[in-house]
């Protein structure tokens, strides 16, 4: 993570009207005692709002339906051989789970990495990236990208590869940020949209079945830059700060559910020419999501809520100090938005069944490597 955020008009978030004087005084005392660390709390909360792939129901971009069964390689006796996949981004948090899925189902895999990696049964690593032409064999049963969608779409359009199936991971930011007040966020959405259109149009011209998967907020491998960053900061400071406006809905998705979804989508002809939002199996409030992360940590950090104006003031101070320039008002405003993606198309077309948001310390990188479920 779906998983990245929906742009909204700039508006002030209302503080809870029923805050008692005692609660306000306690918040003030806590704030003064940790003033030197307040900026760090603001930073992590804003990083989550900015980087997480937030949630929104969106219309699917649909190309003309295509239905192509995955072809099989033939061995010397003319019998079907193992299917062969070319995978980009196989060393990432989604990619490593996807490689395990492919191998467990008998696929032969060629994975591309910028750094040399050791081969294993059924898996060959090739050094390279999406900036150059493909120098290997030209035929595959499927080409899969878990890396940047814009780079992959351009690379695929320029390549001469022959494969009946193409699947790529994108981002829900294509919908979330298209009308942002920040130019950089609008540019992200534009590049994602253009990449999807290029990929689908190229596939259509070649008679190839293409699918795009758009995760929301991804967690589970301890390698994400949102929930794992929150866990790391809270473990160091003993607390985490949220503004009182952080009440919007979120839909975090486990990395294994995304890898499983890729396998399901590859096997379904219904997914050809379609893009799907992939959120988790539970929609919950922003504050509740953070509370569960903190509760999973051995040190049990505290969750502090401060008035939104005070939170924004601390952010402004950080900006004047030359820090957190990438954190903006649009990201703060999105923390209040009650948004959720519609995952029913994915359920209907390929049986997508994500888990509820049950998190442990390993899933956010705080107790060794996260184990596969």
| 119 pLDDT above the threshold of 60 | yes
C-alpha–C-alpha distance, residues 6 and 175, integer Å? 7
| Chain centre to alpha carbon of residue 94 | 9
Residues 168/153, Cβ–Cβ less than 8 Å: yes
Furthest-apart CA atoms within the chain: distance in Å: 82
The per-residue pLDDT for 370 is: 44
C-alpha–C-alpha distance, residues 124 and 303, integer Å? 46
User: Stretch 22-28: mean pLDDT, rounded?
Assistant: 50
pTM summary value: 0.80
Tens of pLDDT, residues 164-210:
999 999 999 898 888 777 888 889 999 999 999 999 999 999 999 99
Q: Residue 182: beta bridge partners? A: none
C-alpha–C-alpha distance, residues 335 and 48, integer Å? 9
Over pLDDT 70: what percentage of the chain?
76
Question: Would you place residue 48 in the very low, low, confident or very high pLDDT band (cuts 50, 70, 90)?
Answer: low
The per-residue pLDDT for 369 is: 39
C-alpha–C-alpha distance, residues 90 and 238, integer Å? 35
Tens of pLDDT, residues 63-117:
333 333 444 344 334 456 799 999 999 999 999 999 999 999 999 999 999 887 8
């Amino acid at each position: 993570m779906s998983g990245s955020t929906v742009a909204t008009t700039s508006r002030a978030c209302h503080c809870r009207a029923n805050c008692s004087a005692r609660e306000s005084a306690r918040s003030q005392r806590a704030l003064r005692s940790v003033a030197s660390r307040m900026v760090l709390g603001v930073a992590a909360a804003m990083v989550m709002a900015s980087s997480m792939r937030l949630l929104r129901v969106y219309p699917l971009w649909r190309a003309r339906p295509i239905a192509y069964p995955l072809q099989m390689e033939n061995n010397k006796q003319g019998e079907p051989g193992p299917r062969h996949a070319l995978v980009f981004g196989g060393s990432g948090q989604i990619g490593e789970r996807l490689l395990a899925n492919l191998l467990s189902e008998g696929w032969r895999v060629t994975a591309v990495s910028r750094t040399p990696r050791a081969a294993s049964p059924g898996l060959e690593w090739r050094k390279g990236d999406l900036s150059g032409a493909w120098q290997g064999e030209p035929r595959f049963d499927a080409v899969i990208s878990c890396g940047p969608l814009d780079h992959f779409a351009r690379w695929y359009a320029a390549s001469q590869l022959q494969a009946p199936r193409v699947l790529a991971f994108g981002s829900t930011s294509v919908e979330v940020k298209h009308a942002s007040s920040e130019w950089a966020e609008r540019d992200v959405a534009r590049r994602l949209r253009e990449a999807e259109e290029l990929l689908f149009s190229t596939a259509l011209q070649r008679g190839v079945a293409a699918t795009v998967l758009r995760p929301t907020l991804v967690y589970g491998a301890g390698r994400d830059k949102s929930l794992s960053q929150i866990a790391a900061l809270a473990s160091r400071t003993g607390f985490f700060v949220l503004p009182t406006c952080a009440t919007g809905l979120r839909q975090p998705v486990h990395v294994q559910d995304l890898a499983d979804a890729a396998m399901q989508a590859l096997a379904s002809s219904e997914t050809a020419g379609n893009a799907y939002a992939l959120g988790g199996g539970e929609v919950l409030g922003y504050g509740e999501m953070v509370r569960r992360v903190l509760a999973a940590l051995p040190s049990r950090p505290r969750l502090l809520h401060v008035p939104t104006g005070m939170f924004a003031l601390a952010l402004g101070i950080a900006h004047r100090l030359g820090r957190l320039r990438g954190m903006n008002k649009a990201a703060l405003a999105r923390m209040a938005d009650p948004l959720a993606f519609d995952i029913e198309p994915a359920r209907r077309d390929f049986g997508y069944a994500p888990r509820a948001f049950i998190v442990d310390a390993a899933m956010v990188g705080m107790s060794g490597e996260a184990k596969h479920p």
